[in-house]
Amino acid sequence: MTKRKPSLTVRRDLSDIFDAPPQITTPQRPEGFSIQNALAVVIRQMEASGLRERTISDYELHVNHFTEITGVTVMEELNADCIYTWLSSMKVSNQTKLTRLKCLKAFLSKCFINGYLTHNFWNSIKIRVDSPVKEGATDREVKILLAMLDLTKFVELRDAAAILLMYQTGIRVGTLAQLREDHVKVASRLLMVDGGIVKNHESIYLPIDDTLARLLSALIEQNALVREAQRTNNDYLFLSKNGGTIQTSPSNNNITKRLSVYAKEYGLKNINPHALRRGFAKNLLKKGANVALISKALGHSDLAITTRYLHLDKDEVAESLRKFL
């Protein structure tokens, strides 16, 4: 055995230095109010306010995605950099980013009101998108479609009544699915919608013409036969062929699906619920209605929403201004 050199032999007694196990420290989670707790409170407030299930689920989806991407868990950690990190992680169009950002901003604004945040740093965060001019349905497109429908068939009679009702009153397709037969006053040519099924919770009265009144009267008669045959008991104005609601999910219903089929089948560009509603608004504008009246008819809670809704192209603006020369 070779003798170890004295310089390589440690003389100091270190035998007890590793007796105690090392202290392993676990990083502590930051203290503060949990984002998940804040989200739970905001959702309860939204439910109490009667907001749509779809709106509430969007809040949950985007806030949870935000916390997953950023790793932020408490309100006190939130800042603009977190939001930019979240946005940068998305491989989607700027329009989609804008939609998600609006939802997150709405959540943060509610947290600010609730006192969970001390300043609204998110207001300065913007996403630039090119907003194409959205066209509304035209008289020609609506007339072509209605002429193609076979009114001897229940489903096509129902669809014709729904199309003309949306185009003539601007009612939302979500509200349309919840209409009851007693909302229609055929004799007085009036649709009286109570606030319980309107997005802004305000009741609206909307006039209908003789043609639509005839369609709705025929539909109500046929509904009775469908309910009897299917042994269902309800008072919905628009029924599925099985006698139940046309609503298939919070964001979809049979009418929406049928309009998509018709648009493809007959080559009609602007046949969908939103285009019909926009067509109604633009028709009112062309006939001289002011923005305040259009806003009321559409059930908007803010005139600013209506002015964005009536997004006009340059030719339309010039033509509208010409009458004031």
pLDDT at 325: 62
CA neighbours within 13 Å on the CB side: how many for 177? 19
The neighbouring-strand residues paired with 214 are none
Query: Strand 190-193 to strand 204-207: parallel, antiparallel, or no bridges (unpaired)?
Result: antiparallel
Q: Which CATH code for domain 139-312?
A: 1.10.443.10
How far is Cα 187 from Cα 317, in angstroms, rounded to an integer?
39
Alpha-carbon distance of 155 to 25, in angstroms, equals 68
Contact 216, 270 (CB under 8 A): no
In this structure, are residues 137 and 282 in contact, taking their beta carbons and an 8 Å threshold?
no
Residue 78 is given by DSSP the state -
**Would you say 278 and 288 are in contact if contact means Cβ atoms under 8 Å apart?**
no
Per-residue pLDDT tens, the chain, 325 aa: give them: 556 556 555 666 666 665 555 554 444 445 678 999 999 999 999 999 888 888 899 999 999 999 999 999 999 999 999 999 999 999 988 888 999 999 999 999 999 999 999 889 999 898 876 656 567 889 999 999 999 999 999 999 999 999 999 999 999 898 899 999 999 999 999 999 887 887 778 888 899 999 999 999 999 999 999 999 999 999 999 999 999 999 887 667 899 999 999 999 999 988 999 999 988 988 888 888 887 888 888 888 777 677 766 765 556 556 665 666 6
pLDDT value, residue 190: 93
Sequence-ordered strand ranges (E) for the chain? 184-185, 190-193, 204-207, 247-249, 252-253
Task: Please state the φ and ψ torsions of residue 204, each to the nearest 5 degrees.
Answer: -135, 145
Domain with CATH 1.10.150.130 in the chain: 35-124
> What pLDDT, on the 0 to 100 scale, is given for residue 23?
54
**pTM above the 0.85 mark?**
no
pLDDT tens readout for residues 81-104:
999 999 999 998 888 899 999 999
Looking at residue 322, what is its pLDDT? Answer: 66
Give domain 35-124's CATH superfamily: Tyrosine recombinase, N-terminal domain (1.10.150.130)
User: By three-state DSSP, how is residue 121 classified?
Assistant: helix
CA distance 182 to 88: 50
Radius of gyration of the chain (CA): 30
Angle formed by the axes of helices 80-88 and 53-70, to 10°? 100
Q: What single-letter amino acid sits at 36?
A: Q
Size (the chain), residues? 325
User: Which residues make up the CATH 1.10.443.10 domain(s) of the chain?
Assistant: 139-312
